[in-house]
Amino acid sequence: MRLVQVTVPTGKRATVLELLDDEEIDYVVTDETSEQGYDTLVYFPLPANAVEPVLDGLQQAGLGEESYTVVVEAEAVVSGRFDELQERYATGSVDDEEIARQELVSRADELTPTYAVFLTMTIISSLVATAGLLLDSPAVVVGSMVIAPLIGPALSASIGTVVNDRELFYTAMRYQMSGVAVGIVAAAIFAWLLQVLLVVPPGTEITQIDEIAERIAPELLLLPVALGAGVAGVLSLATGFSVAIVGVMIAAALIPPMAAAGIAAAWGLPVAAVGSTVLVLVNLLGVNLAGLLTLWYLGYRPHELFEVPTVHRRLVKQVAAFAAVVLVLTLFLGGITYASYQVSMFEATATDEAETVLAEYEDLELLSVEAEIREGNDPVSPSLDATAQIDVVVIEVTGPAAAHDPAVADELHERINGHTDDEVTVEVRFVTSEQR
């Protein structure tokens, strides 16, 4: 529910009150004595989804920019006519919870800090995420998402498009693009300093850190996170749901990959850095695309009807451009996903072969099988045959010392290489176990 306060210019009082009477809206009128060109202040309660049509009607009645309107949230309204008004505007759908176009723009502005504060908070968030990834600490990474000021700019671009506010759109895109660039550079510098100062142990392989590995070799399944964040962000903003919670979801799609890109660059892994950067861009555009489509679906349009065709054409072009770029970048993620699938299938085949061989030895038991891509092969570069990048298969076997047989390693090498075009080193590690 909302309480609306409207200043009525001299000579417009009868027109405004007639409109409110036609809508059967309760109102209170007071005289305005500031001698600023107004003669009346009108207060009236409205359901949240009635604010936009009523304000649009008042504008059409002649209340332009020379007057001002204040909309505040009302905790309760006790009135029989208000109950009837709520029933008249009730649709039984999401529309019942939607806020006015004017409120939507104001909320987006409130969520977007000044440019200096935005960049500062983004840098801090990126540095915290960098530390969290290197520590392999999900808790620290989540903390970095909480302080990221990304939801305002991420949603403002979509709002600017559907309400035909080009300045809002371009400002939001400038925030987003510069935020990504600054975040990645800050993470790279911070990670490099951690190396130089030996805070991170020399020889650390970042590809073996789980929190980093899943972001420098991103897969296609991460795209729905961005699309879901965009839809949820718009719904939360338009219906008054907890925006802070959804803001963390949007940050989850952007901040950790930004930090991972910086870490990969600091470690001299350019292709891995590109992989993380592609993930950031896909997620960023995915959030904007999903938010744009959701706002249009919810029915948000410019106030002036003659602007709607122009905005519709612009929206179609913008959606097509976003979708085309997302599709191209998604092909890269699809290649990585397919490569990961191939490696997993190869590991499964190697496991089957190892179990078959060890079945002939009663005292030996298979512990694990892992295909490794070591230096010289890039784990992020998609390939039609990802198994060609595997150069070592590590097999751990346990059993008593007396059961150790070098012939096991030879047989495993022969059987596993029967499934590859290029020879793969099979490393068998015997873990001695004794029962006492």
Q: Residues 139-157: pLDDT tens digits? A: 898 888 888 888 888 888 8
Residue 86 has pLDDT above 80, yes or no: no
| Spatial CB neighbours of 64, under 8 Å, sequence gap ≥ 6 | none
The reply to whether 284 falls in a domain is yes
pLDDT of residue 190: 94
Structural domain ending residue among the three candidates 90, 121, 148: 90
* Structural domains of the chain, count: 3
Give first-to-last CA distance, the chain, whole Å: 75
The reply to whether 267 falls in a domain is yes
pLDDT band of residue 402 (cuts 50, 70, 90) is low
Q: Which residue has the higher pLDDT, 165 or 134?
A: 134
Please state the separation of Cα 292 from the chain's center in Å.
14
Mean pLDDT of 385-413: 76
Structural domain ending residue among the three candidates 38, 64, 90: 90
* Amino acid found at 93: S
- Both 143 and 198 in one domain: the answer is yes
* pTM for this model (two decimals): 0.71
Tell me how far apart the alpha carbons of residues 197 and 68 are, in angstroms, rounded to a whole number.
Answer: 58
pLDDT in tens, 324-382: 888 887 777 777 677 667 777 888 888 888 888 888 887 788 888 887 765 444 555 55
pLDDT band of residue 405 (cuts 50, 70, 90) is confident
The DSSP line for 133-156 is HHHT-HHHHHHHHHT---HHHHHH
pLDDT in tens, 231-257: 887 777 777 666 667 777 788 888 888
- Both 54 and 109 in one domain: the answer is no
The reply to whether 147 falls in a domain is yes
The reply to whether 314 falls in a domain is no
- Both 264 and 183 in one domain: the answer is yes
- Both 182 and 281 in one domain: the answer is yes
DSSP label at 401?
A: G
The reply to whether 60 falls in a domain is yes
**Residue 13 domain boundaries:** 2-90
In the chain, the percentage of residues whose pLDDT exceeds 70 is 87
- Both 173 and 85 in one domain: the answer is no
Count other C-beta atoms under 10 Å from residue 105's C-beta. Answer: 17
- Both 86 and 111 in one domain: the answer is no
Mean pLDDT of 31-50: 77
Residue 130 has pLDDT above 60, yes or no: yes
